[in-house]
Amino acid sequence: MSFWTRLFRRRRREEELDEEIQGHLRMATQERMEQGVSAEQARVSAVREFGNVGLVKEVTRQMWGWGWFEQLMQDVRYGIRMLAKNPGFTAVAALTLALGIGANTAIYSFLDALLLRSLPVSDPKSLVVLNWHAKAWREDFVMRDMSGDVEDDPKLGSVSGIFPYPAFELLQQSDSVFSDVFAYCQTQEVRTMNVTIKGQADLAHGELVSGDYFRGLGVRPAAGRLIVPDDDRTGAAAVAVVSHAFSEKHFGGASSAAGQTILINNLPFTVVGVAPPEFFGVDPAAAPDLYLPMHTNILLGAANQFGFRAHDYLDQNSYWVEIMARLRPGVSLVQAQATLAPRFQQWVATTASNERERANLPALTLKEGAAGLDTLRRQFSKPLFVLMTLVGLILAIACSNVANLLLARAASRKREIALRLSVGAGRLRVIRQLLTESVVLATLGGVLGVFFAIWGIRFLTLLLGGGPEHVTMRAELNWHVLGVAAALSLLTGVLFGLVPAMQSTHLDLASVLKETRAGQPNRLSSDSIAKTCCYSN
């Protein structure tokens, strides 16, 4: 049943309830008049015997299950009126909260992008990233040539995700655990490539990918087609896939890019397709403009002293390929690790040339790949957690300041609250109404905080990304981030409003009501008092 249907039925029930009460009062009045009582006395007697009409209506409405909603709406309306009557207080408190909520929302958007968000691909949870770890790699190690990064880990020693191409071919044969195995490479030469389009020269970030790269990720093209295995072989036609942003910048849109010829390092390539707009590769730290078949590096190396040698595809001691894979349905990460680690260990032992190298062989490690590579996580997670702690303290200080403002404001509302309590409103009911005012104020601060967060995200993106041309982080206000902002607003409203609300209801009613306020009329309307008392606990 929809909300509007329930609302329509409720109005009809209200009309029926009024008719029923009035009918009951008419019958009771008529009975008394038949006994010789005057009409006026009969009506007064009937109403007195029936009791408080408003209270009877409220009890009946609660039986309908809508009492809580009416109470909430009344509290919200009254809270908005009270805040509107004090614009100075409302503006100061809302802006104070907006700064705290906005800063927390901006920082959380980056934590969401780096730690929580999955790659925009099909079934990202089944993806795995292949790494290795060893005691040390600088001396007596099987890796004699490399193109990539090696990190130092205090627990594992040296850790990296670069492998020899023969290791990639070995892992491609793991059909029992992987449905797809694909590779990619971003050497220094590929990261910055000279591109000429219609006579206009520009620089672009490139990535070499294997033929199964897009199929393994489950990515669909925005236009044309993507790279397939037949493109990734020696002697194949020189083709490229461009990012959606690159196609809009240089071709006016994805549909116009497919089929165009461009020059990459002065070699002609045909653009066969465009990646979807949300796809940025598997490494959030290095979003490519161009995707080229991996074997293109032979063509580029031969023509432009690209820095790549064809025999690197055969060299078991040259580490330059990064690998990801997709688990078969029903195969866990632990099972895949147990299956592939011994196989890789046997293979890598054949690449050692002496006993010292055999004593320090790299060991295969599989990691979850739903979020892609962890380059940005390693670089920015600690600073972001520190920033999150700092802005959390800022929000706590903001809540404390607003709580002090509410306590000061409560002094001017003592007579109002004492009057409510004296005419029958329950203490818990008054606390709930004051808390609702605090939550309404926090909601206003949260809405303003979202605008502060938009500015903060842009500023932090430029600050952490090193400038507009290097920004690859995809921090944004999505539903997760907005949900956190809403939760922060609700939480802060309760935190800074609870203590003032509780203290405001601890009053000596007699002494407060005896206080005279010469020339200052009571602003609490009888209608507001009646509504509060109707819901007294």
DSSP 298-316: HHHHHHH--S--GGGGT-T
H or E segment and range at residue 180:
strand 178-185
Residue 537 tokens read as 């606990």
Q: For residue 224, give Cα distances in angstroms to 111, 122, 248, 259, 442.
A: 34, 19, 15, 8, 49
What are the sequence ranges of the domains in the chain?
Answer: 3-58, 69-117+377-534, 119-183+313-370, 188-307
Q: Is residue 308 within 8 Å of 300, Cβ to Cβ? A: yes
CB atoms inside a 10 Å sphere around CB 210: 27
pLDDT at residue number 473: 56
Distance CA 114, CA 122 (A): 19
Distances, alpha carbon 270 to alpha carbons 20, 29, 241, 264, 274, in Å: 81, 94, 9, 10, 12
Q: Would you state the structure tokens that stand for residue 137, as one six-digit string?
A: 């790699």
Contacts of 194 (CB under 8 A, 6+ apart): 201, 202, 203, 263, 264, 265, 266
- Number of Cβ atoms within 10 Å of the Cβ of 514: 9
Task: Give Cα separations from 269 to 213, 220, 236, 240, 407 (angstroms).
Answer: 19, 21, 11, 6, 70
CB neighbours of residue 228 within 10 Å: 15
Count the residues in the chain.
537
Nearest CA to 372 out of 291, 481, 280 is that of 280
Cβ-based neighbour number of residue 355 at 10 Å: 8
For every one of its 537 residues, what pLDDT tens digit does the chain have, with 9 covering 90 and above? 454 555 556 677 777 878 888 888 888 888 888 888 888 888 888 888 887 776 677 667 666 655 566 677 878 888 888 888 889 989 999 999 998 898 888 888 877 776 667 788 889 999 999 999 998 887 789 998 888 888 888 888 899 999 999 999 999 999 999 999 999 987 766 778 899 998 899 999 999 999 999 999 999 999 999 999 999 998 899 999 999 999 999 999 999 999 999 999 889 999 999 999 988 888 876 789 999 999 988 888 765 555 677 788 999 999 999 999 999 999 999 999 999 999 999 999 999 999 999 999 999 999 998 877 666 666 666 777 787 888 888 888 888 888 888 888 877 777 777 777 776 667 787 888 888 889 999 999 999 999 988 888 887 777 665 544 444 556 677 777 888 888 888 888 888 888 888 877 776 666 766 664 444 455 544 444 444 444 444
Of 159, 185, 184, 183, residue with least CA distance to 172: 183
DSSP 108-142: HHHHIIIIIPPPSSSSGGGEEEEEEEES-SSSS-S
Specify the DSSP element, H or E, that contains 428.
helix 427-465
